Amino acid sequence: MNKLAIAIHGGAGTITPASLTPELEKAYRGALSRALEDGYRVLTEGGTALDAVELAVVRLEDSPLFNAGKGSVFTKEGKHEMDAAIMCGKTLEAGAVAGVRSIRNPIRLTRAILEHSDHVFLSGYGAEEFARKYDVAFEPEDYFYDPYRYQQWRDVRDTDVFMLDHSKERKFGTVGAVALDASGNLAAATSTGGMTNKNYNRIGDTPLIGAGTYANNTTCAISCTGHGEFFMRAVVAYDVSCLMEYKGYTLQQACDLVVMDKLVKFGGEGGLIAVDAAGNMALPFNSAGMYRGCRSTETDAMVAIYKD
Amino acid sequence: MNKLAIAIHGGAGTITPASLTPELEKAYRGALSRALEDGYRVLTEGGTALDAVELAVVRLEDSPLFNAGKGSVFTKEGKHEMDAAIMCGKTLEAGAVAGVRSIRNPIRLTRAILEHSDHVFLSGYGAEEFARKYDVAFEPEDYFYDPYRYQQWRDVRDTDVFMLDHSKERKFGTVGAVALDASGNLAAATSTGGMTNKNYNRIGDTPLIGAGTYANNTTCAISCTGHGEFFMRAVVAYDVSCLMEYKGYTLQQACDLVVMDKLVKFGGEGGLIAVDAAGNMALPFNSAGMYRGCRSTETDAMVAIYKD
């Protein structure tokens, strides 16, 4: 049997032991473990990497702890606008959405786009129209309501401040997953609610193929989290892939250069998760912490939050 | 004095001598020449590459001949939705918009984002709100009305067909410019009205940093045109840059591999314009034709439409 591997993240930022109560830390570890196990089970049961990353992200979107799906932060208008992308490393097919509202699981919508659309990237009302056509589930406004998130937004809504998910106090994050399946295929998926109090219908790196999300069987699958503007300008995910393909770097070498050197010099706080076609995994981050987990046929399940 | 260089494009596709009347061909050549000269003059007068590409694209957006700004095609709803991006190769700062309506020159809006926003990529109503704040010019609906474009849309609006700008009959295209200024700085800009009869608020490669638009003083400046979905999945602009940075390819070698080999095998019809930090230029396309032009301190002005 070929090697199987999956890695997940729930966001990166200034996450320290002091910033989480023991109860909250336990809740995060539990949510990460369940998403990891559900995604890994897809792989052991012979499912595709695409199915595994989709399910792992759905589990994280359904948790109120993370800034995606149910837990999405409030925009300046007091709404929820979500971005997501999914990519298949075998075919390089992809689906992405920006600025969608009321969609229970934006990652399921990106999968429908990958499967059924000639387009890759849909946005706003148009993406929602596509969702209705393919029976992607909607939820009423109050599904996305969370008292903490509401207070977080109330604190800054009349200012021009926008908050990165993890740049202040209690931390919430973009979610993502990458996987290698038994057929040797890679896939990546990322989903986010963006920045608290964001305005102007800002789009971040999450839904941009090559920036926040990328998969290619030749090299690796990548899902990013962090200060999206810097990740976009640095084309982070495809940069890791190109360092492997064009310079012969290992996955770890490529991730270390991009996340721990180039992004640090550039001022781009955050991290990523990555898996290559041989099942090697890397989960680098240059912030204080990153909600993360991984498991493969050769390594036990690992869930972590802070730096080692 | 350092070398100066500028290249522009007005779209790529199945453009053949049979597809243009002599009058129309003359009109295209005239519009391209004027945009090229106006952009080049910015450089000779000591202006920045950013100013040069912005002005060249404004000239092309103001022409009804190209699918950008005034000449933008109709969406499925009979509206005009425009995408654009601009990037500075010195700072890697960028501005991008998707799905904006009623903006006379979307490229001016991307420049305002680059200059004044902490964000890179704005969309829809939010981007329009930002435009009002920074006095970017709006136009009424009828400014964007063109009888030919209207008929082109009427022919397909009740179908699920969407048309690439250049895949049928009389051809219109995405526009772009790249430049090198006297200080050795590179810049790239791209603007488009997207696909005729597009729906679901589709976003193409044009506004995506690394896909349709990219600039980096270390390597090159790139503006793409073609079947956007393939350009996004192949992260075309950053691929050219990475081949130069990581494999030591020349600009021409990198462009040839990406456009004439990788994109052809992938099924991605189109082309791009590129300039590197030494003032070398490349204007490759794998389609029948590409509206294009270039000029530098070492080469006379050249404007062309078909293959040589």
Chain B residues closer than 8 Å to A121 by CB: 202-204, 208, 232
Higher pLDDT, B291 or B17: B291
The burial of A269, by beta-carbon neighbours within 10 Å (0-12 exposed, 13-18 middle, 19 or more buried), is given as buried
Most confident by average pLDDT, A125-139, B61-75, B165-179 = A125-139
Which pLDDT tens digit goes with each residue over A104-132? 999 999 999 999 999 999 999 999 999 99
Q: Is A243 on the interface with B (CB under 8 A)?
A: yes
d(CA A199, nearest CA chain B) in Å: 7
CA nearest to B208 within chain A:
A208
B43 interfacial to chain A (CB closer than 8 Å): no
* Residues whose CB falls within 8 Å of the CB of residue A133, separated by 6 or more in sequence, listed in order: none
Predicted TM-score of the model (pTM): 0.94
Which helix (H) or strand (E) segment holds residue B304: the answer is strand B302-306
Residue B202 contacts A, CB cutoff 8 Å: yes
Determine the distance in angstroms separating the CA of A30 from the nearest CA of chain B, rounded to an integer.
Answer: 34
Pick from B99-113, B137-151, B202-216: least confident: B137-151
Cβ of residue B79 closer than 8 Å to a chain A Cβ = no
3-state helix, strand, coil in chain B (%, to 5): 35, 25, 40
CATH number at residue B197: 3.60.20.30
Closest CA to A8 of A131, A126, A179: A179
Q: What is the mean pLDDT of residues A184-192?
A: 97
The mean pLDDT of B112-136, rounded to a whole number, is 96
- Residue A19 makes CB contacts below 8 A (sequence gap 6+) with A169, A170, A171
Residues of B in contact with A209 (CB under 8 A): 208, 211, 232-233, 235
Residue B182 C-beta-side C-alpha neighbours within 13 Å: 10
- Does B231 lie at the interface with A, CB-CB under 8 angstroms? no
Count CB atoms within 10 A of the CB of residue A140: 8
Contact across the interface for A229 and B120, Cβ inside 8 Å: yes
Question: How many domains is chain B built from?
Answer: 1
Strands of B270-276's sheet in order across: B213-215, B220-226, B270-276, B281-282
Q: What is the pLDDT of residue B171?
A: 38
Res B168 pLDDT > 60? no
Burial status of residue B231 (CB atoms within 10 A of its CB: 0-12, 13-18, 19 or more):
buried
Residue B165 has pLDDT above 50, yes or no: no
Nearest CA distance, B201 vs chain A (angstrom): 5
Nearest CA-CA distance, residue A121 and chain B, Å: 5
Cβ distance of A199 and B129 shorter than 8 Å: yes
CB contact under 8 A, A210 and B118: no
Contact A267, A233 (CB under 8 A): no
Which residues in chain B are contacts of A228 at CB distance < 8 A? 120
Mean pLDDT score of chain A:
91
Q: Provide the 3-class DSSP secondary structure of residue B233.
A: helix
What is the end-to-end Cα distance of chain A in Å, rounded?
32
Question: Is a pLDDT exceeding 80 seen at residue B156?
Answer: no
Helix (H, G, I), strand (E, B) or coil at B40: helix
Residue B293 bridge partners (DSSP): B8, B303
Asked whether the predicted pLDDT for residue A172 surpasses 50, the reply is no
Within 8 A of B123 by CB-CB distance, chain A residues are 98-99, 123-124, 201-203
Chain B hits for A268, Cβ within 8 Å: none
Instruction: Check A123 against B124: CB less than 8 A apart.
Output: yes
Please judge whether B238 and A162 are an interchain contact, meaning their C-beta atoms are less than 8 angstroms apart.
Answer: no
Is pLDDT above 60 for A179? Answer: yes
Task: Tell me, yes or no, if B214 comes closer than 8 A to chain A by beta carbon.
Answer: yes
| Per-residue model confidence (pLDDT) at position A145 | 80
Confidence of residue B190 (pLDDT cuts 50, 70, 90): very high
The order of strands in the sheet holding B5-13 is: A202-203, B121-123, B94-100, B82-88, B186-192, B175-180, B5-13, B289-296, B302-306
pLDDT-based confidence at A162, cuts 50/70/90? low
Question: How far apart, in whole angstroms, are the C-alpha atoms of residue B36 and residue B26?
Answer: 15
Question: How wide is the angle at C-alpha B67 spanned by C-alphas B59 and B208, nearest 5°?
Answer: 90
B214 contact residues in A (CB cutoff 8 A): 235
Residue B162: per-residue pLDDT: 58
B127 to chain A: which residues are within 8 Å by CB?
A: 200-201
Q: What is the arrangement of strands in the sheet containing A289-296, beginning at the earlier edge strand? A: A302-306, A289-296, A5-13, A175-180, A186-192, A82-88, A94-100, A121-123, B202-203
Q: Do the Cβ atoms of A200 and B130 come within 8 Å?
A: yes
Query: Strands, DSSP E only, in chain A?
Result: 5-13, 82-88, 94-100, 121-123, 175-180, 186-192, 202-203, 213-215, 220-226, 270-276, 281-282, 289-296, 302-306
Residues A53-80: what's their mean pLDDT?
Answer: 89
The pLDDT of residue B81 is above 70: yes
What is the band of A170 on the pLDDT scale with cuts at 50, 70, 90? very low
Q: Which pLDDT score, from 0 to 100, does residue B196 have?
A: 66
Contact B210 A214 (CB under 8 A): no
> Considering only alpha carbons, which residue of chain A is nearest residue B118?
A229
3-state secondary structure A96-140: EEEEECCECCHHHHHHHHHHHCCCCEEEHHHHHHHHHHCCCCECC
pLDDT at A166: 44
Nearest Cα of chain A lies from the Cα of B116 at a distance, in angstroms, of: 13
Interface test with A, best of B88, B110, B128, B233 (most A CBs within 10 A): B233
CA–CA distances in Å: residue A111 to residues A77, A108, A136? 28, 5, 10
Q: Complex ipTM, two decimals?
A: 0.93
Instruction: Mutate one of A79, A120, A236, A241 to test the B interface: name it (highest B CB count within 10 A).
Output: A120
For residue A215, the enclosing domain spans: 5-306
A247 with B246: Cβ contact below 8 A: yes
Judge contact between A255 and A278, C-beta under 8 A: no
**Among all residues of chain B, which has the CA nearest to that of A118?**
B229
**Of B125 and B170, which is predicted with more confidence?**
B125
